[in-house]
Each structure stands twice: as structure tokens, then as C-alpha cells.
Amino acid sequence: MKLTRPLLAVVLSSSLVVASCSGDDEQPTTTDTGASATAEATPDDDAATASAVPDDASATATASPDAATGTASPTTEASGDDEESDQAIHGGVVTIEEADRIAADLLTKAEKARYASGSERAELIEAAYNGPARTAVRAESKLRSVTGAPEGEPGKVEPTVLAISRAEEGEDMKYLVAQTVPEDGLPKLHLIATGGPPENFRIVWEGEMLPGTAIEPFERRSLGSPVLDPEAPSQLWFKPDAVMRQLGRILDYPMPENQPNLKTSGYAPEVRDQARTQAAQVDEQATFRQTHKNRDQNLTTIELADGSAIAFGVLDRTSVFRVRDGMELSPPDTFRVFVNDGSITESAQIDWLVFTAVHIPTERTAPRLVAVHEQIVGAEGS
């Protein structure tokens, strides 16, 4: 498997570099230090398979192999329940038609923002995003002075709404889960939320599905999917906030001795390998450490039809270089977008947001990372 992700590297001249890098992880990797942390990989030529959803059905989101065609293959999973009777028992926070319209509008604005510039891009980001997702997109926009903007024109956006959160008494937050399938690459999941009226919905979380992963259907959209209270009992075997903290531990460098049982679909080995490479490259000039902290306030857990759940979380990643006495690091333009300092003699810190979606089961089997997105959002140095 190859994942293309930003890499903060150090070249032989001791310059800090933000680059685009691919990491190979073709073989399954197991870390067993008292508890198993298994990451499973899939072949590099796996393509994406997405799902189409009839109006009264739930959907299965997948990123499964389809190398023979290289195209997205629609699949459908429908419930036999009658929509009208469902609405009498429960109901979504918006209707199916409203959800489809909201998702299409926001994700079309997001796609247009990718190709826009200046004040137009800023206005589109404001209209499409909120929370950590807005922070990430703004940072990506800031880095375009160095990395460049995508070429071409916005493509047609046809999102599939996978879930609508259930209308619950006393619950102000409303959620939609949508999926888009780009012409090239893997499907993306989008969490759309508002604490107010439907016109205030914004994208608050986005992540690319990892190769070979799949999400079982959410509850029928006409019925609405329960959003789990972190303080209330549930059917889940693991607490979502604890799982997110464990995921952060697996991604830390140096890696802690005791690792939890959590599958990452090849992602964690890649992150650790890149961190290990960075540490080795800069060893004579500086020490390198990378840590992750879960944002509890940005954790949203939505139940699937089978009682398990998808937890949408955000991790703060901090990558720190401590410069050894008498040494110096010369940062490139990508670092200087955030810090206009041409000489680092003490320390350099890179701040990231890491968006993660983890499937949490109802039985004692390992949670699995199914989608992820990373973005450098800041830096400091002296």
C-alpha cells in the first residue's frame, strides 16, 4: 500500500523540508509487546468502491479493491422497514431531501474552494467549513504560496449521504455523514454538523478512507442514527475517547513499549517509519520526537445499524526538533510560511491536525482505523 501524505523531512544539508512522500507497507505489520497492535495493508493498485443509496435505505461505505476496473462500483444495502412507520417512531434531524441538498451544496462549495484563490477562496471556505476542518483548509491555503494550487477546474460533486443523526429531545447538535468519490484516489468521508438551524450546517471533519476498509450501514436515514453520549452507557466494548488516546500512542515516536490492540490498515507503520527516518536523518544535528493528543471536544461517535459505531476524532500532532549544541537547521520556504526565521539553533516545532475515523465494535475485537487526513497547521522555531 502507498499513502501520499505530507512529510516533514530533514535533508542531508540539515534543512527542514515539508515534502510529499509515499510510504510502502505491503506486508502486514504486527507489534506485540504484551498487547497486539496489528496493521493490515492492501496492494498498491487497489481502487475505491463507493455505495449508492436509495431514498429510504442505509448505505455501506467501502474502499475495497477493484483493480480490474479501477472504477467506483456502486453497492446498495436497504432495510425492509417502511419509511412512514419509521418516522412515527423516530426521525432524522432533517429530511432525506434536505440532507441530500445540504451535503451537495457544502461539498460543491468545498470543491470550488480547492480551485479558487484570494477572497473568493476565503469566502468559500467560510461558507463550507467550520471547526478543525476550517483550520486545516485555511492552513493548506496558506501553504499554497509554496506548494502551489491544483490545476484544472472543479469537478462535479455527487455526495452520498450515509447517515442523518436522530432527532433526540434536548440534543442541539445535528449531524450528517456523507461520502464522495473522486475521479482518482480513495473515497472521502465528511462529517457535517451544526448546533443551530439547517442553514448553518458546515463540514467539520474530513478523511480519506484507507485501502481495503469498509463501513457497515448506519441506521436508515428516515429513522436517524443515534449520536452516542460519551458519558452514557452504550453497547460499545471500548470507550471512544480511550480508543482515540490509544491511537495517538500507536502513532507516537518514539513508540511506547506497551501497545494497545488497535488495527490501523497500514497507517500507523507508515507514520512510525517516516518518523524513524526523520530521526535518523537529523540525528547528528538534533533530536526528534512526535506526540499526539486527542481533542475530546471534537470527538463525535455515531452508531451503526448493528450497534457498533464510527468515532470521528481529531488528534493534535506535535513534531519537535531539539537542536544539539553548536548545530543549526536552515528551514525551507514551507516552514517559513509560518515562521520567518532563516536559522534554527534551539528548537523547531511543527503542529498538525490529524482527522481519524475509527470503527468501534460491540464485542472484544480490535477497533479499526478506517479513514484519516493530515494537515500541517502551524510551526514555531528559534
- pLDDT per residue over 175-207, tens digit each? 999 999 988 888 999 999 999 999 999 999 999
- pLDDT of residue 353 exceeding 70, the answer is yes
Using 50, 70 and 90 to split pLDDT, how confident is the model at 30?
very low
Q: Which of 257-266, 302-311, 350-359 has the lowest mean pLDDT?
A: 257-266
- pLDDT of residue 289 exceeding 80, the answer is yes
What average pLDDT does this structure show over 9-36? 29
Give the DSSP letter string of 85-146: HHHHH--BSS-HHHHHHHHHHHHHHHHHHHH--HHHHHHHHHHHB-HHHHHHHHHHHHHHHH
Q: What percent of the chain has pLDDT over 70?
A: 76
pLDDT tens digit string along 212-256?
A: 999 999 999 999 999 998 877 788 999 999 999 999 999 999 988
- pLDDT of residue 347 exceeding 60, the answer is yes
State the helix-helix crossing angle for 267-281 and 240-251, rounded to 10 degrees: 40
Using 50, 70 and 90 to split pLDDT, how confident is the model at 171?
confident
What per-residue confidence (pLDDT) applies to 263? 94
- pLDDT of residue 32 exceeding 70, the answer is no
State the helix-helix crossing angle for 118-128 and 131-147, rounded to 10 degrees: 160
